[in-house]
Structure 1
Amino acid sequence: MQIYKIEYLFEGEPRTHQFEIKQARLSAHEAAMHLLQLHFGDGENSLIMPTADATPDEILNQAELVGLAQIMVVDQPSVDGSRNNQ
């Protein structure tokens, strides 16, 4: 498991969250999917979630529509296990 630190805006307010995920790398659109699930995954309206075949741009656009913006993976492990800031 890898720990990733994400910085983002939620409804205009700065937030930080850490995810522990079984992935070697985490892109902004993948982080957006995790944030959508975090903030809206338990909601009754499943229309908030992008479709399974959504492109990275569609995922980021959907996130922005519901108040998630400026999503950045600011710390993620490198291949050798040390930390990289991005």
Structure 2
Amino acid sequence: MRNYTVNYLFNDAPRTHAFELKQLQLPVHEAAMHLLQLHFGDAENGLIMPTADATPAQILEQAERVGLTQIRVVDQHIID
């Protein structure tokens, strides 16, 4: 497992979140998808989430539309 730290803005407010994932890398668009699920996964409006076949650019566009910007994967640690 790896622990990824992600810095981002949510509605212009700085935020940090750590994700524990099995994957070896965390591209920015995948971090954006995790953040969308974190902030909007419970939303009754399923239109907030990108479709399963969305491109990385479309995922980042959708994240920006709902206030998730300047997403940066800044750290990763291997967890034993």
TM-score in same-fold range (> 0.5): yes
Matched with 2:15 is 15
Q: Note the residue ranges of structure 2 that are not aligned, 5 or more in a row.
A: none
TM-score, normalised relative to structure 2: 0.94
1:76 Cα offset (Å): 1.9
TM-score, normalised relative to structure 1: 0.88
Q: Percent identical across equivalent pairs?
A: 69
Deviation beyond 2 Å, 4+ runs, structure 1: none
Count of residue correspondences: 78
Select the structure with the greater relative contact order (CA < 8 A; seq sep ≥ 6): 2
Pair 1:28 & 2:39 matched: no
Q: Note the residue ranges of structure 1 that are not aligned, 5 or more in a row.
A: 82-86
Query: What is the root-mean-square deviation of aligned Cα atoms in Å?
Result: 0.8
Q: Distance in 2 between matches of 1:3 and 1:68?
A: 20
Matched residue type, 2:37: Q
